Structure 1
């Protein structure tokens, strides 16, 4: 059939099936050998999404919050979210918890790559929304930034959202030390499987309307609970490498 070659939205790069498959394999290899290549991780997510994105869109359409998200298309960046206002919220609110997590991990909401390879504009937004909400999951579940905890969160996301890339990313576990790998599979993976499967589909959450909500109450509403106690104190080199990976 004829492949549409005109971009469907700003930044869109149309692909035929062969180009998509080639990028999927290439990005998978590069992502495994160099997990800090955030551009390749993003490409892997887009080229392997398949039927997962239409399914997530259907889930969003089934809820009032999800439908409003698709209609209003909110973005999560340092220009759309008032970080100073969140920092002034009472301790224990979701907004304060989120901005505190960003500061503690030394990251910003501006590190998420734009979507390029998904042809349907609405599905492209669903993928962008998933990316930009990733740090909300980190802060809500009390997970720092490191390879070990990113893998745990990917297992949670796969169980909750079903995106293939989130499962493929767990291959990075081979790069962990034996002790960290043991802890990952004995403590974090069981938690991620239970928590992700019991939680409300997080793609339907209008997070920007939850800033002032007590974070404990929000966890109960969504059916999630904090991950096993994380080791927040990490060597500076490891922290820097984890931040670069993002």
Structure 2
């Protein structure tokens, strides 16, 4: 029988995975530690559930997430219990990309064991690595904060949603969106268009209820049209091996992915 505490009180992702399995991968400024241990990681955290339990989890996590959208564990749970179709779509997109296939084959992880945050602070200002670490520092977040996947039985689909969670800060950084309600809603609309996850649509719609009047006007007039257009017309970000592009100029990456940063009109104070 599934214990409720195991469902609603998930363990926090540890900084390191299985140190004995770490191996140095690559050289130069983009070198990072490859943790070839996702299979053991998956088995450690996986919790098999039946359809009835999945329904209960869906209703419970959706209810809690609507009341408190900052409950990241409930948002993560909802993404797993409602995302089967979207994850299959995301997997197929990755399988049809050379870079996506490489990610699926190597299953890289993003955390402070695989990304040298201190080293990124020394990168030139116009590089992806510097933009990413500036985002982490400015918003006081860490790559170690993502919940492990628990309720997906297929290991390949489990990796896809784990990857989706772990590149979230990269998405924020390259889109130029801070971690605030308006920024999160904008990124959620972008991700909804790109990845088709029901959780993203739900978060984008209901998150707007918490916006101030001016932010709501900005969302409708500027952020939403830009997010929908960019999500439809830019490259599929799940196919970007960010860890191997840390020294790439951000303008070059934007051009390659067809991302035009959002420019807001100047307002007089």
Partner of 1:130: 164
Q: Say yes or no: does 1:175 pair with 2:227.
A: no
Query: d(CA) in 2 for partners of 1:93 and 1:173?
Result: 32
How far did residue 148 of structure 1 move? 1.3
Deviates more, 1:22-31 or 1:130-139: 22-31
1:91·1:97 contact (CA, 8 Å) conserved in 2? yes
Partner of 1:19: 53
Q: Stretches of 4+ moved more than 4 A in 1?
A: none
Superposed, 1:159-170 pairs within 5 Å as 159-170=193-204
Residue of 190, 198, 217 corresponding to 2:233: 198
How far did residue 47 of structure 1 move? 0.7
1:105·1:145 contact (CA, 8 Å) conserved in 2? yes
Residue of 213, 220, 225 corresponding to 2:255: 220
Where structure 2 has 5 or more consecutive residues not aligned to the other structure, the ranges are: 1-39
Q: Say yes or no: does 1:211 pair with 2:243.
A: no
Superposed, 1:113-152 pairs within 5 Å as 113-152=147-186
1:154·1:169 contact (CA, 8 Å) conserved in 2? yes
Partner of 1:100: 134
Where structure 1 has 5 or more consecutive residues not aligned to the other structure, the ranges are: 1-6, 232-246
TM (normalized to structure 2)? Answer: 0.81
1:44·1:165 contact (CA, 8 Å) conserved in 2? yes
Deviation string 1:179-234 (CA, Å, 9 cap, x unpaired) is 22121122111000000000111111111111010001101101112234499xxx
Deviates more, 1:212-221 or 1:171-180: 171-180
Deviates more, 1:93-102 or 1:7-16: 7-16
2:89·2:195 contact (CA, 8 Å) conserved in 1? no
2:103·2:241 contact (CA, 8 Å) conserved in 1? yes
Q: How many residues align?
A: 225
Q: Say yes or no: does 1:77 pair with 2:111.
A: yes
Deviates more, 1:118-127 or 1:175-184: 175-184
Query: d(CA) in 1 for partners of 2:260 and 2:124?
Result: 21
Please give the secondary structure, in 1, of the residue aligned with 2:169: helix
1:12·1:117 contact (CA, 8 Å) conserved in 2? yes
Give the CA RMSD over aligned residues. Answer: 1.6
How far did residue 25 of structure 1 move? 1.5
TM (normalized to structure 1)? Answer: 0.88
Query: d(CA) in 1 for partners of 2:93 and 2:127?
Result: 27
